[in-house]
Structure 1
Amino acid sequence: MTQSVVVQVGQCGNQVGCRFWDLALREHAHVNKKGLYDEALSSFFRNVESRRSDRGACVVSGRIQQLKARAVLVDMEEGVVNEILQGPLREVFDSTQLLTDVSGSGNNWAAGHLTYGSTYREQIVDKLRKAAEHCDCLQCFFLIHSMGGGTGSGLGTRVLGLLEDEFPDVCRIVTSIYPSEEDDVVTSPYNSVLAMRELTEHADCVLPVENQSLVDIVNKIKLMSHGVKPSSMIKRDSTVISTQGGLSGAEKPFDAMNNIVANLLLNITSSARFEGSLNMDLNEIAMNLVPFPRLHYLVPSLTPLYTLADVNVPTRRLDQMFSDAFSKDHQLIRADPKHSLYLACALMVRGNVLVSDLRRNIERLRPSLPFVSWNQEGWKTGLCSIPPVGHSHSLLALANNTCVKPTFLELKERFTKLYKKKAHLHHYLHVEGMEQSFFTEALASLSSLIEEYHHLDATKTRLTPDTPRLSMAR
């Protein structure tokens, strides 16, 4: 059995990560009624002997064991990590795998990447190594961070570089939360573009998620739950409803947004945590979806978002789930992949879905999806038998698609507006080791990435009726 380690950096990364662990425990408890430590649990949890029976406890050979998350938590402010340690998941995290400071990065990529990155380098490497040593067969690192703040963007990408240095052969999948255009951090365009260069150079796969898309989805969920369609009410046990995500205190406005990202992580890790007739190895994501090393930004879409399916799923509703996965309303960035070029696509299905239904829906949808001419059969599929709690089935689609280009263009424009005026630049240049060349090189890297997507877009051609039939990737 392979294991993976989750690395949470910054306020956003730790809040999303905490919600992931909360929901993951809930899924395992739903399946593992006797609370026994098994192979499924070992993929993301290890067990240590305990005298207490707190949240996350299980039984091994008649003894109470405490599950410990295979996680490293890093933040340069204490608030969120302290909140986690006071919440219901406090026993799930190993205190030796936490790293905090008190002053924060001041929304400054340079402070996070250079100052804290240098100060805490050895401690971070030590914690990463210890997490890896607890794994029998380390398969993947999942890094969760935001792009707009200082710690998430700066220290988060510094940790990514350390992962590549220390574990060059272990897959690095990054979930990056991009700020909205109305972000209240004025320097977020600087932080995001500086971080983008690191993501492009050091990640194997990046799952970009936009705050504005999360806001839009949460608003739609609220609309559905307020009785617009009585049959579409969101039930209390739905995984899209926030239950404070394992944190203490009152629910916050962004908790529901964090839940959606946590559900993305639940789905992408499901085949590593549970059995399935067509399970997808995490390493296969990069192998099958990234034909060019720099173009590794995979657009995620998640369904169902608004309704809980019946136990016996009618074919029509199952087909609708596949159609929704390619609808812009279900994308976690504001993009419409059906009007852009696909380089590859993965469908990760959970629940009681037949392989024949999977094949049939791909055949049904494929003619409407413009694939690059040399990879028109570029599909990867995964089928995990265990659905999310409260659902009978779910689907995560990961599209390597040129539709990310407008998001990157908008980010470049926001960066350029600030940089032309040299606004706030002095805050960065006062940081030891930071030079103006960091900005010009980051902008050049982003411009080059956009140009690569643009070049592919220019090759887009219509699919013809005699396109070769799909051959399922395995």
Structure 2
Amino acid sequence: MTQSIVVQVGQCGNQIGCRFWDLALREHAAVNKHGTYDESLSSFFRNVDDRYEDADIPLEQGRGKIKSLKARAVLVDMEEGVVSEMMKGPLREVFDFKQLLTDVSGAGNNWAVGHKMYGSQYREQLSDIIRRAAEFCDCLQCFFILHSMGGGTGSGVGTFILNLLEDEYPDVYRFVTAVYPSIDDDVITSPYNSVLAMRELTEKADCVLPIENQALVGLVNKINQALPPTKTGKRMYTSVGGDVKRGSAISAAEGGVVGQANEKPFDTMNNIVANLLLNMTSSARFEGSLNVDLNEITMNLVPFPRLHYLVSSQSPLFTLSDVNLPPRRLDQMFSDAFSRDYQLLRTDPKHSLYLACALMVRGNVEVSDVRRNIERLKPSLKFIHWNTEGWKTGMCSVAPVGQSHSLLTLANNTCIHNNFTELKDRFVKLYKRKAHVHHYTTVDGMEMSDFSESLESINSIIQEYSDLEKQMNNPPPPEPRLQVLT
């Protein structure tokens, strides 16, 4: 069994991480009725005997008895508030205080401060705490880096850690979940931070899952409109074809370790991202008829090394109280997953070109159901001519808590160049006036060339995806067939 380490950076990364660990514990508790330490748990948790100064118990020795579970997590923030709160909260026993690093002053929403200043200052400490987490793994397969793009710590320190991982663990996959700022983001320098960070993601990551705040807000609103009324609120309706089962929304934390009573304003959005990670790693944690290893995601969905940005969507957003699952409702789950209303980016892959697509299915779904829906959807989806059968399917028998089934789609699609173009335009709007640039160039190690090279990097990604999209309506002619002379 392989293990993965989650590296949480900045306020956003740590808040998502907190939701991830809470929901992961719920999932494992729902399946692991006897409370035994097994291979499933070992993928993201280690078993610790506190009597011997945090001694790790190997799986073969610890199987059958849980002493104390510790998350395979590294917590980093240059503003200690969020991490301190987590270490005092309900999940405090899950985190290892030796695998966290905080400062007090913050990065001031400045990529250069996070990457150039704090990165250099804390390089050895970061290397040590990551090495400590890695030494507790028998077979380390992947690092998951969680951070935002618009602030200073997430974008700056997050991408510094990405570089560190490439240097010190070149054979371990690097998956990045990056939350992009909204157009009306209140951090005026967020376009600078995002574009500067994107150059690092393009060059150093194996796979990036970009998520937009605006898309998350839309999903939360969609869920809230469908949920049943509360004692204090009025019912808000949407036509979902039935009553919504309480506690089944993927934005809810009902019954979790943290629980709804302690929910923070962004927890509903963070839960959606946490569910993305849970669904993507379900095959690594539970049994299924078609398991998809994390290395298969990059192998099947990333045809060109730099074009590793995946568009994600999740369905259903909630479960109806009717426990029966008629085929039409199952088919609707697949249709929804390919609708722009369920994307974690404000984009529409259906009208662009697919390079590849993965379907990660969980719960009581048959292979025949998946095949039927692929055949049903294929005519409306355009795949690039050299990968017309570019589908990867994973099936995990364990459904998310509170739901009977779920579907996560991960698509490498040319539509993403529109999102990057929008971000680039916001960057250029500031940069052509050199607005706020002096806040960056006064940081040791930061040069004006960092701006120009980052702009060139995002332009090249936009161009590469755009060039591929042109093949949607104008595929190259088939290669001439050789004639055999006799």
Using the size of structure 1 for normalisation, the TM-score is: 0.93
Amino acid paired to 2:237: V
- Give the CA deviation at 1:133: 1.0
Q: State the match for 1:112 in structure 2.
A: 114
What SS class does the counterpart of residue 419 from structure 2 fall into?
Answer: helix
Amino acid paired to 1:194: L
Is 1:432 matched with 2:444? yes
Q: Is the 8 A contact 2:48 2:70 kept in 1?
A: yes
Correspondent of 2:219 among 217, 220, 223: 217
Q: State the match for 1:228 in structure 2.
A: 237
Q: State the match for 1:80 in structure 2.
A: 82
- Per-residue CA deviations over 1:169-191 (Å, capped at 9, x if unaligned) read 11111100000000010000000
Correspondent of 2:101 among 90, 99, 102: 99
Correspondent of 2:312 among 300, 306, 310: 300
Matches within 5 A, 1:20-419: 20-50=20-50, 65-225=67-227, 226-228=235-237, 231-233=242-244, 235-242=246-253, 246=258, 250-308=262-320, 310-419=322-431
* Cα distance change of structure 1 residues 142 and 61 upon mapping to structure 2, 3 Å threshold: closer
Q: State the match for 2:481 in structure 1.
A: none
Amino acid paired to 1:83: E
Q: Is the 8 A contact 1:299 1:399 kept in 2?
A: yes
Q: State the match for 1:54 in structure 2.
A: none
- Between the aligned partners of 2:173 and 2:212, the Cα distance in structure 1 is 23
- Give the CA deviation at 1:227: 4.3
- Give the CA deviation at 1:50: 4.1
Q: Is the 8 A contact 2:224 2:236 kept in 1?
A: no
Q: State the match for 2:7 in structure 1.
A: 7
- Between the aligned partners of 1:62 and 1:345, the Cα distance in structure 2 is 38
What SS class does the counterpart of residue 68 from structure 2 fall into?
Answer: strand
- Per-residue CA deviations over 1:93-150 (Å, capped at 9, x if unaligned) read 0110011000000000000001000011111111111111111111111110000000
Q: Is the 8 A contact 1:370 1:461 kept in 2?
A: no
* Cα distance change of structure 1 residues 104 and 310 upon mapping to structure 2, 3 Å threshold: same
Deviates more, 1:237-246 or 1:437-446: 237-246
- Per-residue CA deviations over 1:418-454 (Å, capped at 9, x if unaligned) read 0011111110011001010000000000001101111
- Per-residue CA deviations over 1:237-280 (Å, capped at 9, x if unaligned) read 54421459839984322110001000101100100110101000
- Give the CA deviation at 1:336: 0.4
Q: Is the 8 A contact 1:5 1:140 kept in 2?
A: yes
Q: State the match for 1:458 in structure 2.
A: 470
Calculate the aligned-residue CA RMSD, in Å. 1.9
Amino acid paired to 2:131: R
- Between the aligned partners of 1:114 and 1:220, the Cα distance in structure 2 is 40
What SS class does the counterpart of residue 228 from structure 1 fall into?
Answer: coil
Q: Is the 8 A contact 1:87 1:247 kept in 2?
A: no
Q: Is the 8 A contact 1:271 1:382 kept in 2?
A: yes
- Between the aligned partners of 2:245 and 2:63, the Cα distance in structure 1 is 40
Deviates more, 1:231-240 or 1:140-149: 231-240
- Per-residue CA deviations over 1:270-295 (Å, capped at 9, x if unaligned) read 00110101000000000000001111
Amino acid paired to 2:15: Q
- Between the aligned partners of 1:150 and 1:249, the Cα distance in structure 2 is 31
Q: Which runs of 5+ in 2 are unaligned?
A: 52-58, 228-234, 476-486
Q: Is the 8 A contact 2:78 2:106 kept in 1?
A: yes
Q: Is the 8 A contact 1:88 1:246 kept in 2?
A: yes
Using the size of structure 2 for normalisation, the TM-score is: 0.91
Q: State the match for 1:17 in structure 2.
A: 17
Q: Is the 8 A contact 1:86 1:248 kept in 2?
A: no
Q: Is the 8 A contact 2:35 2:65 kept in 1?
A: no
- Between the aligned partners of 1:204 and 1:373, the Cα distance in structure 2 is 24
Q: Who wins on radius of gyration, i.e. which is larger?
A: 2
- Between the aligned partners of 1:232 and 1:113, the Cα distance in structure 2 is 49
- Between the aligned partners of 1:357 and 1:325, the Cα distance in structure 2 is 15
* Cα distance change of structure 1 residues 63 and 402 upon mapping to structure 2, 3 Å threshold: closer
* Cα distance change of structure 1 residues 37 and 298 upon mapping to structure 2, 3 Å threshold: same
- Between the aligned partners of 2:361 and 2:260, the Cα distance in structure 1 is 32
- Between the aligned partners of 1:462 and 1:200, the Cα distance in structure 2 is 27
Q: Is the 8 A contact 2:252 2:260 kept in 1?
A: no
- Give the CA deviation at 1:311: 3.4
- Per-residue CA deviations over 1:366-391 (Å, capped at 9, x if unaligned) read 11100001110111110000000011
- Between the aligned partners of 2:428 and 2:267, the Cα distance in structure 1 is 32
- Between the aligned partners of 1:387 and 1:71, the Cα distance in structure 2 is 24
What SS class does the counterpart of residue 88 from structure 1 fall into?
Answer: coil
Q: Is the 8 A contact 1:84 1:247 kept in 2?
A: no
What SS class does the counterpart of residue 132 from structure 1 fall into?
Answer: helix
Q: Is the 8 A contact 2:37 2:64 kept in 1?
A: no
- Per-residue CA deviations over 1:64-98 (Å, capped at 9, x if unaligned) read 51100011110001100011011110000011001
Q: Is the 8 A contact 2:364 2:397 kept in 1?
A: yes
- Aligned pairs, how many? 457
- Identical aligned pairs, as a percentage? 70
- Give the CA deviation at 1:306: 3.6
* Cα distance change of structure 1 residues 32 and 186 upon mapping to structure 2, 3 Å threshold: same
- Between the aligned partners of 1:309 and 1:248, the Cα distance in structure 2 is 20
- Between the aligned partners of 2:172 and 2:63, the Cα distance in structure 1 is 33
Amino acid paired to 1:442: S
Amino acid paired to 1:99: L
* Cα distance change of structure 1 residues 460 and 245 upon mapping to structure 2, 3 Å threshold: farther
Amino acid paired to 1:241: A
- Between the aligned partners of 1:370 and 1:296, the Cα distance in structure 2 is 19
* Cα distance change of structure 1 residues 247 and 72 upon mapping to structure 2, 3 Å threshold: farther
Q: Is the 8 A contact 1:245 1:259 kept in 2?
A: no
Amino acid paired to 1:45: F
